[in-house]
Amino acid sequence: MKLVFQLASFLSCVSAVNAVHQSADIFYHEKEILGASMWHFNSDGVTIYSPSGDVLKAHRKASVCEEYVGWRGTSEDCSFFTMASDGHKYVWAAAHTTHKIDIFDIDTGDYVGYQDTCNTPLDLSYHPGREEMWLRCAQADDDTTGEIDVFSSGSVSSQITVTSLNGTSRPYGRFVLDSSLGNYAYASSYNMNWISQIDLSAKAIKEEFEIPLAYGAYDMTYSPVNEHIFMRVRVCCTCGSVANGTDVESCGYYGGSMVHVQTGPHASPDLQVGVCSSGCEGSAADTIGAIEFDTVSKTFVAEHNILDGTGYGCDPVASPDGRWILLFGNDGGQYVRLLATGANGEASTFVRDLHVNWSGGTAGRSAVSDFAFVKDDDREILVLAANCDNEVVLVDLTDVHLPMRKINVSPGSEDSTGGSSRKVEWAIDTDYIWVNGGDTSEQYIIKMEGDIYTAELFRTLTDVESGNMIYVNNYERVRAMELMYDAFQDALLEEVDDDDEEEEEGTCGQCVADANMASAQKLAANRRMMSNINSVNPMEMF
């Protein structure tokens, strides 16, 4: 037997020497999986970190940042604006200046390639049922015919028809896509007073729904709980001199024009000198705030605004599960309004005005720059950050009193380190919350092992340029591993049941105890193994 084994070993060595190992085979056989990780996109390129802040992979700037000529001259910086993971194959990132979408391997972080796309990418959204990544742009490009592009995660080189909104030449706006919406998505435009329903299969507008009293709409969010969309409404307002009673002081770079003001103290059927859209945000004409649209009945069911006396207008955002809606008001950083979604067709309900009370904000402007929800079996915590203040707000949503705590991420700084926009990201299923400090090129990591009172500043990374973050994991693999674990656990339980039956038949008590102990040890070992399921290479597990 020993001789046979030695002969087999020799033959295997000979075979290995004569074999040709293809590079693709090596990739699949030997590739190292990053696992759950925080991806940071900024002007210097892409760096991938562990949840606690260790560098796992860093791309050379020249390999992902393409030189371009802008209005400020020539630049070699990256300009990533929106990014998303498809959860099983790739991480996608779209650049504002070069009008392309870059694609990275979700497991290794390797740069896969790019596709050209429409002008000024704004929103990336993945449809898991269709295995397609959809992109909303500000306008068509020279090589595209529309503002909504789509890419297949099954074939990154495939070309799919671009969707046109059939509106103005640059219908800047946002996009809502969710698997619960089936074959449809919705798009807003800052200068068109309707919401467009997109047929994803036809790649065309199916229907348009007029927004009452609006000039347009911009920020959008969606709740699968009630199947409602929430939109920031854009209006027109008078301009020229607040002292003389106009809604806003400035008429903008190009000056005012004759517009139809339909809201606020100067609403009139007659045309007046004024401006429209973003120039009216936070003005007395910004009375609609956010409007709630039912995608089932195709009707508007409610309007939501902020606390009376604090300002006008708000941007709506939703929690990942759609249970909560937050209204970021133009109040200089005083409050964040919390709404709860309910049944389809019914208006979402007011819960609380969270008194965040940030300093450094500008009256009539929003101070909230980003948010995150920490949610697991034991916690549901809202994280809020502002670009004008170093204090990050934590709110415990499991307590009816909604207790709040603030963490200063840069206690040694008198001025805010937030820069133009402070970003927040929770490393899902961990105790780490990432917050950036663009003005000082710092990255702060908060560790929260339990409730909000356990949170503390854990680590500060330096020389990290301001940018955007996204937490990434191959959730398709995670789910497959969980199913394997469940099957393995069921087999262990069956083994324990068989041992119990043997005991009932009079089997040696000590033997049964030994068998039960062995089974328990196997089960405990398997649980320990699965506790790190989010970061372990599956090839090392079985």
Q: How confident is the model at residue 32 (pLDDT cuts 50, 70, 90)?
A: confident
Looking at residue 11, what is its pLDDT?
42
Q: How confident is the model at residue 318 (pLDDT cuts 50, 70, 90)?
A: very high
Looking at residue 513, what is its pLDDT?
56
Q: How confident is the model at residue 29 (pLDDT cuts 50, 70, 90)?
A: low
Span 494-500, average pLDDT: 64
* Lowest mean per-residue pLDDT among 21-30, 53-62, 79-88, 294-303: 21-30
162 within 8 A of 145, measured Cβ to Cβ:
yes
Q: How confident is the model at residue 489 (pLDDT cuts 50, 70, 90)?
A: confident
Q: How confident is the model at residue 457 (pLDDT cuts 50, 70, 90)?
A: very high
Q: What is the DSSP letter of 358?
A: -
On average, the pLDDT of the chain sits at: 88
Looking at residue 127, what is its pLDDT?
96
Looking at residue 379, what is its pLDDT?
97
Q: How confident is the model at residue 196 (pLDDT cuts 50, 70, 90)?
A: very high
Decide: helix, strand or coil at residue 380: strand
Can you list the pairs that 483-487 forms with residues at least 24 positions away whose Cβ atoms lie under 8 Å? 484/542, 485/526, 485/530, 485/533
Span 94-115, average pLDDT: 92
Residue 495 has pLDDT above 80, yes or no: no
Residue 177 has pLDDT above 80, yes or no: yes
Span 253-270, average pLDDT: 95
pTM: 0.86
Residue 533 has pLDDT above 90, yes or no: no
Looking at residue 13, what is its pLDDT?
46
* Lowest mean per-residue pLDDT among 27-36, 253-262, 384-393, 406-415: 27-36
Span 296-319, average pLDDT: 97
Reported as a single tens digit per residue, the pLDDT across 129-174 is: 999 999 999 988 877 778 999 999 988 888 888 899 877 778 889 9
Looking at residue 167, what is its pLDDT?
72
Q: How confident is the model at residue 514 (pLDDT cuts 50, 70, 90)?
A: low
The tokens describing 215, both together, are 């000039």
Query: Which residue spans within 50-176 are E strands per DSSP?
Result: 55-58, 68-70, 73-75, 80-85, 90-95, 100-105, 111-116, 119-127, 132-139, 148-152, 175-176
Residue 87 has pLDDT above 60, yes or no: yes
Decide: helix, strand or coil at residue 509: helix
Residue 2 has pLDDT above 80, yes or no: no
